[in-house]
Structure formats: structure tokens, C-alpha cells
Structure 1
Amino acid sequence: MTTSEDQAQELSAEHLERLKENLNKVEELSKRLVEVMAGKKAHSPALDGPNQELFAKAATAYMAEAWQNPAKLLEHQIAYWSKSVMNFAEAQQALTTGEVEGAAPVAKDKRFANPLWETNPYFRFVRQQYQTNADAISEAVASVDDMDAKDKQRLHFFSQQIINMMSPTNFLATNPDALEKAVETEGQSLIKGLENLVSDLEANDGEMVVRLADDSAFEVGGNIATTPGEVVYRNRLMELIQYKPATETVHETPIVLFPPWINKFYILDLKAQNSLIKWVTEQGYTLFVVSWANANASHAEIGMGDYIEEGYLTAIEQVKDICKVKQVNAVGYCIAGTTLSLTLSLLKQRGDKSIKSATFFTTLTDFGEQGEFTPFLQNDFVNGIEDQIGKDGVLKAWVIGRTMSFLRSNDLIYGPAIRSYMMGETPPAFDLLYWNGDGANLPGRMAVEYLRGLCQSNDFVTDGFELLGHKLHIRDVDVPLMSITCETDHIAAWKDCYRGVQQMGSRSKTFVVSESGHIAGIVNPPSKKKYGHYTNPDMQLDADSWMKDADFHEGSWWPLWEAWLRKRSGKQIPAREPGDSNHPSLCPAPGTYVLAKATD
């Protein structure tokens, strides 16, 4: 046998051995996949899509329009047929000649960045026909007139989700990147992708939750959330962290910061370079931060009132006692800012002046406009959530995470799924994405009260939100306040935040719009000199006029806030070390509650 024949035989043997190994892996992974899907707990189908009534209304309105104006329907259909036939004809010509001629410029879409989408006749036809289909659906939805504004908004949103889901990039046979990777790695990328898929399903009880970051790259308290401090108080709902001073003297009035319990507080302490928590201590303040418990079935009956009493009021009293002061400066982020405003109304009605000033980060209080969440805040979805809460006792983190992700589905669902499951890539070691995936469950009663009473009924700015024997109202919020919002925030739109602040009873209001979004606009350290911010003292203007007349400032809003806070923080006193005989340290920061996983 010649040397070349020997090499061919050895190569064939190697390929055969690798093939056997891969087949064995596929068989093992298939068993795990079957097991995890067999054990998946059923959830309310209302969580997976809108009530069919929406599509029935749309179909009825569309057909009514077609009967009244058949020429318009025919025009749409003929345009669709013409484009489809032309796509096919161009593909046939390209297959015959082996060349693609007269290529039209492609709209910027990172899903179709591979050159094969333009140069290969097959992939070019698939892309063109997908875009033709997508345009046809969008035009059909846009042509539906006889629907109310909310239904029309929901129809647009869910039709866009269908368009995104049906992208050819989401399927192996029509994704050139995935096919090229599979050939290049002799199928190993698909094996790794299947491993990633099974692991994600196993980690989430069979629910499809795409892992966005490499979990093994981060340790809370190890390489993130490392600002030194001590847990000085704990109850069933929260741990209270007092951070070590970074200066020899501090302002007399301490700060207590309430982060959202939908996520974990360490978004404000990811790493030293962008840690708001570290920065605040370096400015000479005694800082306390609440770390909320990750809800489980034992928390099912905890409501908004419990968060105020056992969270806000208890934390404030503990801080006052530890620091030997009568007042604190309070900060609330997102839903925690909403609840801080409820707390301020309650304290006003009780005649309690424990809060000297309030700072709101991306905080909604007027839910009259529901923005991008409109599709999910109607009765069919909220009924589904309430039904699921009745079974679980909590609103599970995956429901919240999936809802948020669908607002940016190509970036937060399909893109990561393609890279992980088709390409077999390990998710990136990105701290922000790690935090994003480290979600928290919400107590069932609290979630329903928030969704029904605040988001849907908007009681806080209308008839009053009944809680703890009081009817809380936005006009009772009368302490000096600063509201920090973000220009491109899709969760708490700055215009909606502005409308709420306008209705607050405070005589001293400062409103700021930071560049960027819900997270990057807040976690915006001065050292990076990345995002600027807008200010305008005239709060009587409507939102558009406010922005038109606003002054733009380069750089972070943090120094502006600190200068505002300094005037409300009293004299300098010797720095306070955390933990004393009356409030001994229970454990070092970041504490124990933050380590609990939503899937535990």
C-alpha cells in the first residue's frame, strides 16, 4: 500500500472515530434533553402570547377594510406577488449564470452581515423573500384602521415578534454563519451548541432562558460587588449594608439607597471603575444600601405595604439609630423609586419628617402612558401572571426576564441563542450581562398589587393608592427632590418620569436627563467622560419644550447630584465605621441575600 493510501486510511479512521464520539455525545445529550423537557412544569399559556381576541379583532378590521376598499387590498397583494416573482427570477438567473448581478444595496442589519447573503444565489433569495414577507406583514398591520390605539400598538408589537422569530438566521439550514462553522469544526460546534441548549434548559426547569454571560467568570463578592462594608441589619425582606468610609470625615446626614428588587443591587457596584457605591463613599458620605431577599414561596403574601414597613421604614429607622440622626437622604432606583414615592406620601400623612431629601433614578410614578410595556400590561397577560402566581406563590424571574428581553428580542434572545446553540460559542465574560441574568423572583401579592393598582389603574396619581390604612397620592411627595432619567430608556421613558415629577408637591425639584439608557445612563462614572446630561429648571413646560430649552452638559451627572446632595447633608463629622455594640456586623458585604439564585 502506498504512503498516500496509508494516509487516506488513517484520515478515514480518524474521521470515523470522531464521528462515533460525536454520535455518542448526541445520544447522551438527546437523553438529557428528553428528561428535562419531560420534567418541565406547565405554565399559564397566557404568558406566551396575547389573547386570540386581539388577532380576531385585527382580522375582522382587515376584512372590513378589504370589503370597503378592495383596490387597496389588491394593490398590496399584487405588489407582494410581483416582488416574490422577481426574487425567484433573480435567483434562477443567478443559479444559471453562477453570478449575482445588479445587487441592490442592503439595509444595515447585523443579522445579515455575512457576504453570502448577497453573493450566494440561495442565501440571497432566502434573505430577499424574508424581507418581502416582513414588509407585507408590516404593511397589512399598518393598514388596519378600525382598532383602538392600544390594540393597534399590541398588534404591531406581536406581529414584529413573529417577523423577528421567522428570520432565516434563526434556522440552521438558512444561516450561513452556522453552516460554515459546522463544516469548519466537523460538526463540533453543533454538539457544543446542543450542550449549551440542554444546560440552559436544565438550569431553568425546562424554560428557554438563553444564558447571556459566562457564569464561571464572575463571583459576587469576589471580582464584582467588592466595595468593603458590613451587613448591620437583617430581616426576612432585606439586609442592610453599611459601607466603610473612604474619607476621614463624612457629612452628618447619611444616605440610604433602595435598589429595585426586580434585580440585584450590585449593578451599582460591578467593579471599582464604575461603582456608584464606591464613588459615593469617596465623596465623604455614610452610605447604606438595601439588599433585598430573593423571593420564594414563603414570601408569597408579602405585599407593597410590607416592602414599605419592613424595608423602607425599618431601614430608615436603623440608619437613624446607627448614625444618631433624625433625618436621612433617600435614593430609590426604578421600582424602588416608585415605592420611595409611596413611602414619602405615607410619611407626609403621618407627619414623619425622617427623609430630608429624595433622589429618584429612572422612576415612574404616573403610569398613564405605558410605553413599550403596553403589550404586556393588558388584562390577558396580567390575568395570566396572576394565574401563574396562584400556582407558584411568586412571579418567577424568568417571566420578568423574558418580558424585558422581548422588548429587544433580536439582541437579547435570538442573537445570543444563535451564537450559543448554533455556533456553539461560550457566552462572553461580560459583567453587565452576568448581572442581567442574575434575576430575582417577586412575591406574588406584591407583584399583583403593583401591576393592578399602579401600572393598570394608575391609582397613585388619580384616586389614590390604598395601602397601610392610607390613601397615598403623588401630591404628598413634598421633600426636596432630584429625578435622574435617561434619554433612550425603554423601561422608564424620561417623558413619563417627567410627567410624574411635575405632579409631585415638592417646591424644590431638579430634573435631569442623562444620555443613554436605563442602566448605562445611571452607571455613568465621571472618569469615563462618556455620556452627557440635560438640565432645565423650568418644570412648568411640557416634556418636548423642556428638552428643547434644556442646557446640555458634557460628562456624568454624578458630580451635579453630589453638589445638590452636599447642600442637604449637614456638617462634617468623623467618619463612621460600620458595626458597633448595638449593631454588630452580621457578615461582610455584599451579604448573603444577594447570593440566592432565582432558580434555587
Structure 2
Amino acid sequence: MTAPSAPPPGPDFHTIDRTLRAAEARITQGISPTAVSGAWSDWAVHLARAPGKRLELATHAWTQALRWLFWLRHAATQQDAAPLIRPTNGDTRFTDPAWQAFPFNAMAQAHLLTEAWWTEATRGVPGLGHAHADRVAFMLRQMVDVLAPSNLPWTNPAIAEHTIAEAGTNLLRGAANWLDDMERTVSGAPPPGAEAFRPGHEVAVTPGRVVFRNNLMELIQYEPTTEKVHAEPVLIVPAWIMKYYILDLSPENSLVRWLVAQGFTVFMVSWKNPDAKDRDTALDDYRRDGVMAALNAVSAILPDRRIHACGYCLGGTILSIAAATMARDGDDRLASMSLLAAQTDFAEAGELMLFVDESQIAFLEDMMWDRGYLDTNQMSGAFQLLRSNDLVWSRLIRDYVLGERAAMTDLMAWNSDQTRMPARMHGEYLRGLFLENRLTAGRFAVEGRVIALSDINPPIFAVGTLKDHIAPWHSVYKIALFSDTDVTFVLTSGGHNAGIVSEPGHAGRHFQIMTRHHGERYLDPTSWATIAPRQDGSWWPAWAAWLAGIDSVGMVPPPPIGAPDRGLPPLDAAPGSYIHMK
């Protein structure tokens, strides 16, 4: 008796679903309609079931409207009428003195009161979860921002003054700017002025050579500029979400060049810009073929030397994973670990968490499954929304209405030189770290075995920045909660990028620094900020002194570039070839 034949394969219904969702994602720019509608409906349903909250909001609206009407009489007749409400810290929309004159001050006050009321409408709604409350508050803020009087040419006094003074020529320049930007968007050209900051010419010019290359990264070793160098080298692992040369911008603000001038032997990872062929590159590939491959190359060039490993942003996260894995496996090559604006715990990851839930990640995964990668437009759009007043509306008014262009800087040009994210890696990163927070929950496995940050033994130097919207400093600080070694924490002025690119001599910089030694009790971030000593200037010298203080060998003659006898001959001159990949 013959066995029955297998039934013919049927249609892949899952693929049908993914294809349809991927097409939908192209229309919505990667924003899940289900995640958005779910938050709105949750808020609306719970608010509808809370008559007390609705009565509170109605009373608040009526009271504020009466206050504004009574204040309006004084504002129309007095030049120095005290405002009813002041903008929040960092809100610069109404700082122009023209906003103090009537009727513009009345419009600004009405808008700020409206914003405050809508914010109150999402707080304290019984039964509404924090995640949905925060998401609705964020979306409401974006909607109210659109109608801000500062964004409308006919209600913004600064625009009116410029237009009258220039007889409307600012509007002609603005239209020309808009046409130029549209042409650049269609052609894929960089923003105006970025061509003055070319990697290898004006930026990323610190001399060095590529000494190792694989399918994921190039390793650059920089040429020494001092007669003797610190024996233990520095390996820097940048984020692969952008190109490495934020740490090697112009010669005057290059962290790499400055470290070399202080007598450090510096190695830098330069990541490849992935495309559709790299769709199956995993998060662990960045650890194995990135961090560990770079460490192995440095060890081959400088055998029997411990290494100071430094990770920036996402590079610091993968470095922490690598360091914990090394500790688990008895690999003691690290002399220290430095984390620059890098998170290891994602429970307080800031407003980026507004974009992370099961529905949103599944939606992004379908879009990346179709393309093989996450496009730069989705990432840059999300980051701009976090600071829409500064990065969206104010720029639109300046460029297209006032007809002005902000002078291009090396940091701005770097910010426009964006990279993609492999589909598999980004899905694993969002799920394992952002959504499930496995690394600090004791559930992050490498090669089938769980790792723990508390196993990391080398001392840690962590830097957070005061105005960081990507890696909030309270989140960065939590490495002190999950580690069991000496932790020196620095809180510096500036944001996620400008706070790190903070060269000595940069005006207005300041920082706080304090060390918690092994065995000392944990100090929460608010208490830390209250007692940590403040210093003016850049944090770079403090870091260099910290690194030098750990080096137990001292100063030695500079090492050769590469190690040809160990299969690591010098290849391309810095900045290498991967940096030029579009």
C-alpha cells in the first residue's frame, strides 16, 4: 500500500498580509494606523467614562477663558502687562520682542493656554494607560503646533516686519528655497552648503589607514603625532545609524584628532551602509563582526595590551553587550569601557518610546521585510518630530517665508549624511532592547547563554547630555544601577550630538562629574545632579585624564600602522571607502 502523497503547497497567506501591510506602510511613512487609532480610541473611551474629568476640563477651560478676557483689557492698554502663562523651557517661538505688543501677545497667550489645556486633557484620565496617554499627548501637541501663531505668516509679527521692510522679496527668496529643496529631494542631493564638508577633504581628515575590513565595517588606525604614546590603545565604536565622522569632524572639533594629540593610539570603526542585500544581518553580527572583530584586530596589532573601548550612542549599547559577553567568557582584554550618550536600560528611553509598541514594530518589520532595510527618511522624520518646533516649523518659517538659510556647519552636514538599518537587526534591536528591555532584565542571550552587565569588571566612564532627546541622561545614568564596578558619570551641557562634540575652548560648555566606586551605595540621578561638582569647559580633558590614570604601563614609542606579518597590512588611507557609500 502506497503512502498518500503530500498535498500541494497552498498560498502563503502570511506573505499576502505582509505585502499589504508593507504597501500601507509606504503610504503612512512607517507609522502604524492601528497604533495611532488604538491610542486615540483608548483615550476617548476612558474620557467618555469619566464625567468628573470632563467636568474638570470644562471648568478649567471656562476659567482660563475668563482669565484671558480680563487680561486682554490690560494687555491692550498696557505695554508691560504680565503674561498669564509663560512658554516652557526651550520654547523659543515667542522670544522676539515684537510678540510683547498687542495683539500679538494676546494670540501667543491664547495659544499657550490652549496647549496647556490639551495637555491637561490627557493627564489623570482614569484607566488610561501611560503609554497611550503619552502618545495622545504627543500627537495633540503636534496638531496644536501646526496652528501656533508663530507658524502663520499673517499672525507672526517678525514675518510681517520682514515682509514690509523687504517689500516682499523675502517671499520670493523663500519660494526659490522651496523649489531648490524640492529639486534636491527628488534628485537625492544633499542640502545646500553640505558640499563644503566632504569626508576626506574638509571633514574626517585626521591622518590614518584602514587596517582591517570585512563585510560590515572598516577599522581605521590613526597616525601618532607625539613622540611617545600611552601604551593602551583606544577603540571607538560609533553608532551605525549615522556615519562615524561625527567624532572626526573639522580639525578644530575632532575628538579623534584631539585624542591623538594627547598621546593616545586611536582606532575607529567605520560601518558599512547596508542595502537590501544585507536584510538578514543580525544584531549579534554587529557584536561579532563589528566589536569583536575590531578588538581582535587591535590585539593583533598591539599584542598583550589591554584596550580602552568607547561606544557612542547605539555603538555604546552593542559595546556593552560585547563587554558583558567577554566577562561571561573570561575575556579580560578591556582596560575600561566608556559610553557616550549610550543606553543600556530602555525603561526611560524618552519620547522615542512613543514610537515603540507591538503594533508599531510589526508594521515596521513588514515595511523592512519588503525593502530589506529601514530607510533614512523614517528615522530622520521620527527624530525631527521629537523637536518639531525647532526642527520643523521654525525651519519652514525661516527658509520658506523669511527667505533665510541657516549657515551650514560640519555637524549639520554630517547629520544629512544618513545611513540605512538592516531589516533583521533593526527588528531585533527594537524588540529585544526597546520593547522588552532584555539587557537589564536578565533575558538577553548571546550565543544561547544569558549575559549580565553586572559581570563587567573594568571601570566605566559614562557621559550623558542635558538636552538629549534620543538618549535622555537619566536613562544613560542607569548603567550605574546595573553595573558592579567603578562608574564615573559625566553630565554635560548640550544635546545628543553637540554635547559630545564639545571640544576644549567651545564657549558656554560646562559639565558635572563624580565617581561611584565599587561597593558604594547607588545614588539616584536627581540626587547625583544635586551634589556632583560642576566644572566649566569641555569634558574631554577629564576623560583623557581618566584614561591615562587607568593605563598601568605608561608612555611607550608609537606602534606601527597595521601588522602585515599578522595579516593586517595598511589598506586605504583614512577615512576609508565605507564612509563614501550612499
Tell me the TM-score normalized by structure 2. Answer: 0.84
User: What count of residue pairs does the alignment treat as equivalent?
Assistant: 545
Given residue 101 of structure 1, which amino acid in structure 2 is its aligned partner?
T
8 Å contact from structure 2 (residues 243, 271) kept in 1:
yes
Does the 8 Å contact 1:240/1:289 carry over to 2? yes
Deviation per residue, 1:160-207 (Å, 9 max, x gap)? 222222212323343444455455555543343334334434544599
Which residue of structure 2 lines up, in the alignment, with residue 75 of structure 1?
59
Pick from 232, 242, 250: which aligns with 2:229? 250
Change in Cα spacing, 1:70 to 1:519, as seen in structure 2 (3 Å) is: closer
Structure 2 partner of 1:314: 293
1:261 matched to 2:248? The reply is: no
Following superposition, the deviation at residue 143 of structure 1 comes to: 5.4
More moved, 180-189 vs 424-433: 180-189
Residues 492-534 of structure 1: CA distance to partner in whole angstroms, max 9, x if unpaired? 23332232333224x3333333343323332223344731322
The CA deviation string for residues 469-490 of structure 1, in whole angstroms up to 9 with x for no partner, is 3323323322232222234433
Give distance in 2, aligned partners of 1:131 and 1:482: 41
Tell me, which stretches of 5 or more residues in structure 2 are unaligned? Answer: 1-24
Q: 1: CA distance between counterparts of 2:149 and 2:431?
A: 39
Asked if 1:575 is matched to 2:554, the reply is no
Residue type matched to 2:523 in 1?
L
Aligned partner of 1:557 in structure 2 is 539
> Aligned to 2:498, which of 501, 520, 537?
520
Deviation digits for residues 251-279 of structure 1, max 9, x if unmatched? 22221110111122222122222221111
1:117-516 alignment to 2 at 5 Å?
A: 117-119=99-101, 121=103, 123=104, 126-142=107-123, 144-182=125-163, 184-185=165-166, 187-204=168-185, 214-505=193-484, 507-516=485-494
Please give the root-mean-square deviation of Cα atoms over the aligned residues, in Å: 3.1
- 2:50 counterpart SS class: helix
Aligned-partner residue type, residue 546 of structure 2: W
CA distance in 1: counterparts of 2:375 and 2:180, whole angstroms: 19
Amino acid at match of 2:556: I
Structure 2 Cα separation of the partners of residues 76 and 487 of structure 1 = 33
1:413 Cα deviation after fit: 1.2
Preserved CA contact (<8 Å) 1:533 1:556: no
User: Do 2:480 and 2:522's aligned partners in 1 also have CA atoms closer than 8 Å?
Assistant: no
Greater Cα offset, 401-410 or 192-201: 192-201
Query: CA 1:232–1:48 in 2, change beyond 3 Å: closer, same or farther?
Result: farther
- The corresponding residue for 1:32 is none
1:43 and 1:593 map into 2 onto residues whose CA distance is 31
Decide whether the 8 Å contact of 2:353 with 2:434 is kept in 1: no
Rg comparison, structure with higher value = 1
Rounded to whole Å, the distance in 2 between the matches of 1:128 and 1:141 is: 21
Residue by residue, what CA displacement relative to the aligned partner does 1:69-93 show, whole Å, maximum 9, x if unpaired? 6643442343365467679x86xx9
SS of structure 2 residue aligned to 1:535? strand
Deviations 1:36-59 (A, max 9, x none): xxxx96345625895212112222
Distance 1:252 1:167, change over 3 A: same
Q: Is the 8 A contact 1:44 1:387 kept in 2?
A: no
Aligned to 1:101: 77
**Structure-1-length-normalised TM-score:** 0.82
Q: Structure 1 residue 534 and structure 2 residue 513: aligned? A: yes
Partner of 1:27: none
Q: Which amino acid letter does the alignment assign opposite residue 344 of structure 2?
A: T
The farther-off stretch of 141-150 and 247-256 is 141-150
Shift of 1:361: 1.4
Structure 1 pair 354–74 and aligned structure 2 pair: CA distance change class (3 A): closer
Query: Do the aligned residues in 1 keep the contact of 2:511 with 2:538 (CA within 8 Å)?
Result: yes
Identical residues among aligned pairs (%): 32
Equivalent residue, structure 2, for 1:548: 530
Residue 586 in structure 1 maps to residue 568 in structure 2: no
1:161 is aligned with what amino acid?
Q
SS at match of 1:484: strand
Pairwise CA distance, 1:463 = 3.4
**How many Å separate the matches in 1 of 2:55 and 2:324?**
58
Letter aligned with residue 561 of structure 2: P
Do the aligned residues in 2 keep the contact of 1:126 with 1:168 (CA within 8 Å)? yes
Structure 1 stretch 509-518 or stretch 104-113: which is displaced more? 104-113
- 2:93 aligned with 1:111, yes or no? yes
Instruction: Please state how far the C-alpha of 1:437 moved relative to its aligned partner.
Output: 2.3
Q: 1:238 to 1:80 in 2, by over 3 A?
A: same
Report the Cα offset of residue 552 of structure 1.
Answer: 3.0
The answer to whether the 8 Å contact 2:47/2:53 transfers is no
Amino acid at match of 1:272: P
Could you tell me which amino acid in structure 2 is paired with residue 543 of structure 1?
P
Q: Which moved more, 1:310-319 or 1:389-398?
A: 389-398
